[in-house]
Structure 1
Amino acid sequence: MGKNPANFNFSELDSCVRAISSGNLAVLPTETVYGLAALALDEEAVGKIFSLKGRPPTNPLIVHVLDVKMCELVAKINPFALKILDAFWPGPLTIVLPKKPIIPFNTCAGLSTVAVRAPDHKSFREVLKKVNAPIAAPSANRSNKVSPTTPGHVLHNFGKDCPPILNGGTCEHGLESTVLDLDSDLPQILRPGPISKEEIEQCLNCTVIEAFADQENSSNSLKSPGMRSKHYSPRTPIILKESFDELSFENLDPNHDLIICSNLEEEENFSRYHFATLLLSKNGKLNEIAKNLYHTLQIADSMDKKRIIMHKIEGSENLAIAINDRLLRASSG
């Protein structure tokens, strides 16, 4: 699933720069997931993102910038934001700020705010330098489907419609950025990710609210991507259990069910009874589970099973919270 067709020629960095600069699309690697990139301030180019992804117009895009100076072009930066940018940029943290009038309507889905991030990937940053303009880049997949962490995932998503891809190998984190809303009375995490609540609180020296737990009734549900109840979903339905202990053999079918396990002990427990299994991490390390999650779901979708059976990741660590957030949305509906 992560392999690349032999007849697909990957693009050079300058070819992707030319495509983006001319108002077209390109696929760029980031440290989180692969992004479908276009000029963030070009309404027509942004429209091509929405069209290729099949993305609802109410779902805003994250605008990628090189630095604070480029961020000031699109957003009104407050004192909280300056502290955050100094501490965590470039890196996997997106901040939501009041937008400036230069932002097109479709980039921010008509909101008064804009989500901005400075990626920490050498190739993406080089493209930003050469384009010298903010770049909108949601995940390079069809809307609500599993995010891509390899070039092969992107090709599988888009097929013959695939834009030029800058091959950056496998993404480092494998989960999307943390999204922090700084346009509220108190800072709010709208989407959990690699940067933790505790790290942000330590930086800002104030309470940070986790606003992603109850999305259905959240008035902030449109401020950021990744907040819809159904997201990151494979075609094969996911049955998500609270814990490994809830995976009962009598309710499973070895002919039709695929078990995704979080460590080797779990996998051995099921494979001895002839269940098809996939492994997220041999020893249950959270960073490995996070990095492998989307790739494993992509493989699972190709195995023609009727159900994917998983359980939530144990623990209160930040990455466990972020992984479980993705699993809840992937298994919704």
Structure 2
Amino acid sequence: MNTKIVILDEDNIEQNIVNEAGLVIREGGLVVFPTETVYGLGANALDSIAVGKIFKAKGRPQDNPLIVHVSDFNIDHLVKEVPRIAKKIMNMYWPGPITLIFNKSNIIPSVTCAGLDTVGIRMPSNIIARKLIEAAGTPIAAPSANISGRPSPTDVESCIEDLSGKIDYILGGDKSEVGLESTIVDCTCTPICILRPGAITVEMLREIDDKVYIDKSIMSKPNKDFKPKAPGMKYRHYAPKAPVKIICGDLTKTIAKINEIVQTSIGNKKIGIMATDETKDKYPYGTVISLGSRKKLDSVGRNLFEVLRSFDAIDVDLILSEAFEEMGIGVAIMNRLKKSAGFDIIYV
């Protein structure tokens, strides 16, 4: 398949290009597009055949539901009801990096929701994404634009690497601002529940509902019979080619443990180390890449997937990562790290 690739200037968007990509969606094709979280691989959310192409292109398990992207607040035709708490969240955080789970209407095909009676919906803040949805004239179902299981793409180059030749159209823009997939909140239960942490944190949501909580299953390894209600809950995700191991505990002990592992592996393995600005000079051996500053965890989240992919490019044998405090966006960072490592964690 020949994949058309066009890169847009987000400050000067060529509407004719967006319209062309929108037509591809409307006619049942697949289009990569930027969002503020990560790049997405989109199809007409109401076309079961088109949605099926997403699973094939990504190699995605059929029981992993997709998120439906919209360009405005008019979602009544997509869901059975919009609870009052959901309206409050929408008014505060849409457009933005948060997905809400609703009981779906019959207009949403079963394949889009992996056979569930619920659907996740979000309104991205990225201008190209919203213009594409408007041009398509239909909500767009979209997971991240990568081969299933690999680190999610935060730039168009990563999308080209994974999907060129497998889909119809790649619509590029700037690097993703957030770098982590959207927060997912289940609004079908009381109190509401976070099914995937993200940039909209539990602390932020507790300003709306002080009873909101994080589903305990998302921070631990699920069993094989677990049925996911939202993307990213069941399978190993965000994984580079080399295995990832997390070193968790006191930072001084963490540094010492990483250095110990690297020194005992010299001559046998090429080791990558995911450090921070504060610690990157503490590792005399190994290939060290900083995720950003511990004082600005937003930057760590923004860089996480890009750094994981960087280690693929230099072909390391093992990746060792420092851990982060599970507060605020640190919860989302550790959720993605644990998934990328398959929950391989050394506590010190």
Does 1:181 pair with 2:186?
yes
2:332 maps to a residue whose letter is A
Give 2:286's match in structure 1, choosing from 257, 261, 275: 275
Does 1:258 pair with 2:271?
yes
SS in 2 for 1:165: strand
Map 1:88-127 → 2, pairs under 5 A: 88-127=93-132
Does 1:328 pair with 2:333?
no
Deviation digits for residues 266-310 of structure 1 (CA, Å, limit 9, x no counterpart): 22111xx33211111156521111111101111111211110111
Aligned residues between the structures: 322
Check conservation: 2:6, 2:172, Cα contact below 8 A. Answer: no
Map 1:77-88 → 2, pairs under 5 A: 77-88=82-93
- Tell me the equivalent position of 2:51: 46
Query: TM-score normalized by structure 2?
Result: 0.87
- Tell me the equivalent position of 1:318: 328
SS in 2 for 1:198: helix
Does 1:242 pair with 2:242?
no
Deviates more, 1:247-256 or 1:84-93: 247-256
Give the CA deviation at 1:167: 1.3
Distance 1:167 1:112, change over 3 A: same
- Tell me the equivalent position of 1:208: 212
Deviation digits for residues 178-221 of structure 1 (CA, Å, limit 9, x no counterpart): 000011232100000000112212113x4012102346269984
Deviation digits for residues 15-54 of structure 1 (CA, Å, limit 9, x no counterpart): 2111111110000100000000110000011011011011
- Tell me the equivalent position of 2:320: 309
Deviates more, 1:131-140 or 1:244-253: 244-253
Q: Percent identity between the aligned chains?
A: 34
Give the CA deviation at 1:262: 3.4
Distance 1:292 1:92, change over 3 A: same
Give the CA deviation at 1:141: 0.7
- Tell me the equivalent position of 2:12: none
Distance 1:218 1:284 in 2: 37
Deviates more, 1:150-159 or 1:107-116: 150-159
User: Mind listing any 5+ residue stretches in structure 1 that lack a counterpart?
Assistant: 1-6
Distance 1:168 1:8, change over 3 A: closer
Distance 1:289 1:248, change over 3 A: closer
Distance 1:81 1:220, change over 3 A: farther
Distance 2:86 2:225 in 1: 22
2:299 maps to a residue whose letter is E
Distance 2:339 2:167 in 1: 26
Give the CA deviation at 1:9: 4.9
Check conservation: 1:254, 1:276, Cα contact below 8 A. Answer: no
Deviation digits for residues 42-82 of structure 1 (CA, Å, limit 9, x no counterpart): 0011011011011111111000111221x212112111111
1:157 maps to a residue whose letter is D
Distance 1:199 1:248, change over 3 A: closer
Check conservation: 1:230, 1:330, Cα contact below 8 A. Answer: yes
2:306 maps to a residue whose letter is H
- Tell me the equivalent position of 2:233: 227
Give the CA deviation at 1:10: 4.2
Deviates more, 1:60-69 or 1:10-19: 10-19
Distance 1:219 1:209, change over 3 A: farther
Distance 1:59 1:229 in 2: 9
Distance 1:14 1:114, change over 3 A: same
Aligned-CA RMSD value: 2.1
Give the CA deviation at 1:323: 0.3
SS in 2 for 1:179: strand
Query: TM-score normalized by structure 1?
Result: 0.91
Distance 2:103 2:221 in 1: 21
SS in 2 for 1:154: helix
1:330 maps to a residue whose letter is S
Give the CA deviation at 1:144: 1.5
Deviates more, 1:91-100 or 1:243-252: 243-252
Check conservation: 1:215, 1:221, Cα contact below 8 A. Answer: no
Check conservation: 2:29, 2:167, Cα contact below 8 A. Answer: no
Distance 1:162 1:104 in 2: 21
Give 1:290's match in structure 2, choosing from 289, 301, 306: 301
